[in-house]
């Protein structure tokens, strides 16, 4: 949502709402955009937001992909600039390892509980 009748003062950057000509490059740009958070929105990625800032970030991602930059390096650049908050795919770090370990841990503990209950039941 934007204020009524709001028109951007400067027209949005070229690639904000225009796809890259190369479908493979557009696909990798799209995949990256879906993992980047629109910093001024309520829980939306830059791939699906009307906000001006999201448009600028889309343009930035597409321009850099066009120039041949790898998605991972664009992501790292954005994280260096805006912090971990900008990515929906939290990088593994001292703070996020419990998060990434949780699924395996849950599966292990759950499996152990279920298995031990079977063993007791089947004698």
Partner 1 sequence: MIAEAGLAALWFAGALAALQLVMAAIGIARDRDDVAAAVRPVAIVQGLLALLAMALLIELFLESDMSVKLVVENSHSAKPWLYKFAGAWGNHEGSMLLWVTILGLAGGAVAIFERSLPERTLTATLGAQATIALGFYAFLLFSSNPFARLNPAAADGLGLNPLLQDPGLAFHPPTLYTGYVGLSVAFSFAVGALVTRDVGPAFAKAMRPWVLIAWIFLTLGITAGSYWAYYELGWGGWWFWDPVENASLMPWLAATALLHSVTVLATRDGLRAWTIMLAVVAFSMSMIGTFLVRSGILTSVHAFAVDPERGAFILALLAIYIGGALALFAARIGTVRAGTTFDPVSREGALVANNLLLSVILGIVLIGTLYPIVAASFGVQLSVGPPFFNKAAGPIALLLVAVMAVGPLLRWRRDDAKAVLGRVMVPIGATLVAAIALLFVWPGVLPWAGLSLAAGLAVASVAPLWKRNLKRTPLFTYGMVIAHLGIAVSLAGMASDSAFTQETLVAVRTGEPARVGPYTVTLDGIAPVIGENWSALEARLTATRGSSERILRPQLRFFANPPTSTNESAILTVLDGQLYTVLGQPDGQGRWQLRLWWKPFVTLIWFGGVLIALGGMLSLLGRVRRERRATMRTQWA
Contacts of 55 (CB under 8 A, 6+ apart): 12, 13, 16, 17
Q: Which of 76, 83, 92, 116 binds partner 1 (CB under 8 A)?
A: 83
Q: Report d(CA 27, CA 65) in Å as an integer.
A: 10
Interface mask toward partner 1 for 16-55; x: CB under 8 A: -xxx----------x---xx-x----xxxx-xxxx-----
The Cβ of residue 8 has, within 10 Å, a number of other Cβ atoms equal to 11
Strand partners, 36: 87
Interaction with partner 1 in 62-81: which residues (CB under 8 A)? Answer: none
Q: Which of 6, 9, 24, 72 binds partner 1 (CB under 8 A)?
A: 6
Contacts of 109 (CB under 8 A, 6+ apart): none
| Residue ranges binding partner 1 (CB under 8 A) | 1-8, 11-12, 17-19, 30, 34-35, 37, 42-45, 47-50, 83-90, 95-96, 99-100, 102-103, 106-107, 110-111, 113-114, 117-118, 121-122
């Amino acid at each position: 949502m934007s204020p009524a009748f709001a028109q951007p003062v400067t027209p949005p950057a070229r690639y904000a709402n225009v796809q890259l000509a190369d479908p493979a490059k557009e696909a990798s740009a799209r995949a990256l955009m879906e993992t980047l958070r629109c910093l001024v929105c309520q829980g939306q990625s830059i791939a699906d937001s009307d906000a001006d800032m999201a448009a600028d970030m889309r343009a930035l991602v597409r321009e850099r992909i066009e120039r041949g930059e790898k998605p991972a390096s664009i992501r790292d650049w954005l994280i260096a600039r805006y912090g971990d908050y900008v990515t929906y795919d939290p990088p593994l770090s001292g703070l996020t390892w419990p998060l990434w370990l949780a699924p395996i841990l849950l599966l292990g503990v759950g499996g152990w509980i279920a298995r031990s209950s079977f063993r007791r039941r089947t004698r």
